[in-house]
């Protein structure tokens, strides 16, 4: 008996997605079809498991060998629950029995709540997410006072810089922000997402790009995604020439304040690898840490440990933009 029923019909998958008890920004048909259009080296496979959950997998090749991942270009993947109680141990056993090719499934920290006997624990995680919780129930002072003292100082420093915080609402500003983004990923010696991603975010009702300006010049910006009861801090970019202004701190604080008492319960600062420099930064926001559990059947060498990363740090931005789409699969 095939426990993973492959869903080929688009409309059927859309119906099932609407029944999911929880899903992220990345689990929309629109986003998946956008990715398929932009990258001819990936394709999506969609499965229904025992009428209990949905699993969207991306199939791609590296050095001629196929891999499956859920979900590309984000911290989290599936599965998406259709029931309140799913036997996690059975699912874990069945996924290894039914998929023999290399696969990796990353769980959003929300999804374990729908599993009984989840069956995953340390060391099934090497990354964590950091949540500022209950922003719908707390007031501004409660949230602000939970921040680390040095972080509050950075916010106050930014507030004294006469910065303008605004939502990006046109492609002219978007292009300036994208140039900052290219410089930022170059500093971190990593691969850049294409400009089309940012055009998608600009046009989406479930995404927002927030910019910081100093004397009308864009010096920083962040991308935020909205889904379920989550406000997700996805990525940011900044101009190092203005780092003393602490613009990114003010963007984050302005966004948190803007959604206090509204329909969002959790401000997600995003996934971070353990031992990374971002850990200390994110821990300062009065957060609760949640592991990002993974199921996988292969070892990852990863681009982060590759000497190839050094090349991304010295390439001119225009060349980094051109070659990145061909290397993105190594970032999955």
Flag whether pLDDT at 177 surpasses 70.
Answer: yes
For the chain, give the mean pLDDT: 92
C-alpha 276, offset from chain centre: 16
C-alpha 147/C-alpha 160 separation (Å) is 19
Q: What percent of the chain has pLDDT over 70?
A: 95
Flag whether pLDDT at 135 surpasses 80.
Answer: yes
Same domain flag for 145 and 265? yes
Task: Tell me the pLDDT band of 69, cut-offs 50, 70 and 90.
Answer: very high
- In the chain, what is the straight-line distance between the N-terminal and C-terminal CA atoms, in Å? 31
What local confidence, expressed as pLDDT, does residue 2 receive?
A: 82
What local confidence, expressed as pLDDT, does residue 208 receive?
A: 98
Task: Tell me the pLDDT band of 276, cut-offs 50, 70 and 90.
Answer: confident
Query: What's the sign of the alpha-carbon dihedral 85, 90, 96, 99?
Result: negative
Same domain flag for 168 and 259? yes
pLDDT single digits (tens) 203-245: 999 999 999 999 999 999 999 999 999 999 999 999 999 999 9
Flag whether pLDDT at 285 surpasses 70.
Answer: yes
Please indicate, yes or no, if residue 320 is contained in any of the structural domains: no
Identify the domain boundary among 78, 99, 120: 120
Identify the domain boundary among 99, 120, 141: 120
C-alpha 246/C-alpha 243 separation (Å) is 6
What local confidence, expressed as pLDDT, does residue 104 receive?
A: 94
Cα 207-312-192 angle, rounded to 5 deg = 15
C-alpha 176, offset from chain centre: 22
What local confidence, expressed as pLDDT, does residue 112 receive?
A: 93
CATH number assigned to the domain comprising residue 233: 3.40.630.30
Identify the domain boundary among 120, 142, 168: 120
Please indicate, yes or no, if residue 248 is contained in any of the structural domains: yes
- Segment 282-305 shows an average pLDDT of 85
What local confidence, expressed as pLDDT, does residue 306 receive?
A: 56
Same domain flag for 166 and 231? yes
Task: Tell me the pLDDT band of 121, cut-offs 50, 70 and 90.
Answer: confident
Q: Are 223 and 198 in contact (CB under 8 A)?
A: yes
Task: Tell me the pLDDT band of 299, cut-offs 50, 70 and 90.
Answer: confident
Same domain flag for 79 and 148? no
- Segment 29-46 shows an average pLDDT of 94
What local confidence, expressed as pLDDT, does residue 303 receive?
A: 54
Please indicate, yes or no, if residue 323 is contained in any of the structural domains: no
Task: Give me the number of domains the chain comprises.
Answer: 2
What local confidence, expressed as pLDDT, does residue 59 receive?
A: 95
Task: Tell me the pLDDT band of 123, cut-offs 50, 70 and 90.
Answer: confident
C-alpha 63/C-alpha 81 separation (Å) is 33
325 or 31, higher pLDDT: 31
Same domain flag for 288 and 242? yes
Q: Are 271 and 234 in contact (CB under 8 A)?
A: no
Flag whether pLDDT at 247 surpasses 70.
Answer: yes
What local confidence, expressed as pLDDT, does residue 307 receive?
A: 58
- Segment 43-56 shows an average pLDDT of 96
What local confidence, expressed as pLDDT, does residue 190 receive?
A: 86
What's the Rg (C-alpha) of the chain?
20
Q: E strands along the chain, which residues?
A: 4-6, 43-49, 53-62, 65-70, 80-81, 86-87, 103-106, 115-116, 127-133, 164-167, 207-214, 217-227, 230-238, 266-273, 288-292, 294-296
What local confidence, expressed as pLDDT, does residue 305 receive?
A: 55
Same domain flag for 12 and 105? yes
Same domain flag for 50 and 171? no
Same domain flag for 107 and 146? no
Please indicate, yes or no, if residue 36 is contained in any of the structural domains: yes
Please indicate, yes or no, if residue 186 is contained in any of the structural domains: yes
Same domain flag for 38 and 178? no
Task: Tell me the pLDDT band of 326, cut-offs 50, 70 and 90.
Answer: confident
> DSSP secondary structure string, 183-219?
HHHHHTT-PPPPHHHHHHHHH-TTEEEEEEEETTEEE
Q: Provide the residue range defining the domain that includes 16.
A: 4-120
Same domain flag for 269 and 159? yes
């Amino acid at each position: 008996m095939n426990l993973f029923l492959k869903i080929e019909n688009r409309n059927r998958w859309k119906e099932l997605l609407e029944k999911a008890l929880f899903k992220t920004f990345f689990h929309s048909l629109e986003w998946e079809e956008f990715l398929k259009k932009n990258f001819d080296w990936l394709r999506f496979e969609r499965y229904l498991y025992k009428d209990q959950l949905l699993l969207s997998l991306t199939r791609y090749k590296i050095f001629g060998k196929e891999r499956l991942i859920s979900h590309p270009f984000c911290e989290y993947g599936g599965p998406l629950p259709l029931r309140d109680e799913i036997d996690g141990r059975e699912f874990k056993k069945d996924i290894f029995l039914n998929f023999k090719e290399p696969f990796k499934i990353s769980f959003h920290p929300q999804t374990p709540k729908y599993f009984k006997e989840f069956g995953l624990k340390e060391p099934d995680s090497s990354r964590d997410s950091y949540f500022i919780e209950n922003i719908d129930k707390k007031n501004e002072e409660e949230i602000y006072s939970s921040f680390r003292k040095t972080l509050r100082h950075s916010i106050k420093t930014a507030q004294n810089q006469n910065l303008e915080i605004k939502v990006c609402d046109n492609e002219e500003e978007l292009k300036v922000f994208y140039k900052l983004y290219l410089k930022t990923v170059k500093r971190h010696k990593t691969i850049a997402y294409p400009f089309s991603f940012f055009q998608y975010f600009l046009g989406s009702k479930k995404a927002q790009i927030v910019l910081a300006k100093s004397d009308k010049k864009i010096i920083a910006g962040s991308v935020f995604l909205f889904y379920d009861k989550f406000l997700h801090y996805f990525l940011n970019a900044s101009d190092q020439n203005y780092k003393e202004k602490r613009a990114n701190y003010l963007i984050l604080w302005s966004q948190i304040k803007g959604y206090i008492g509204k329909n969002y319960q959790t401000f997600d600062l995003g996934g971070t690898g353990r031992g990374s420099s971002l850990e200390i930064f994110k821990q300062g926001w009065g957060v609760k840490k949640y592991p990002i559990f993974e199921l996988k059947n292969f070892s990852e060498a990863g681009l982060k440990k590759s000497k190839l990363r050094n090349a991304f740090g010295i390439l001119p931005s225009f060349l980094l933009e051109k070659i990145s789409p061909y290397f993105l699969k190594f970032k999955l």
